[in-house]
Amino acid sequence: MAKDFKISIQMKGEDAHLKLSGDFDGTSAHELLNVLRRSCAPCSKVYLHADSLKTLHRFGLQVFHSNFDLLKGKSLDLVFIGEHASRLAPEKGMLFDLNISIIPPASQPEITSRQYD
Task: With a cut of 70, say whether residue 83 has pLDDT above it.
Answer: yes
HEC letters along the chain: CCCCCEEEEEEECCEEEEEEEEEECHHHHHHHHHHHHHCCCCCCEEEEEEEEEEEECHHHHHHHHHCHHHHCCCCEEEEEECCCHHHHCCCCCCCCCEEEEEECCCCCCCCEEEEEC
The model's pLDDT over 16-37, given as tens digits with 9 standing for 90+, comes to 999 999 999 999 999 999 999 8
Whether the pLDDT of residue 114 is over 50: the answer is no
What residue ranges define each of the domains in the chain, with the CATH number in brackets? 6-116 (3.30.750.24)
The pTM (predicted TM-score) of the whole model is 0.83
The residue type found at 15 is D
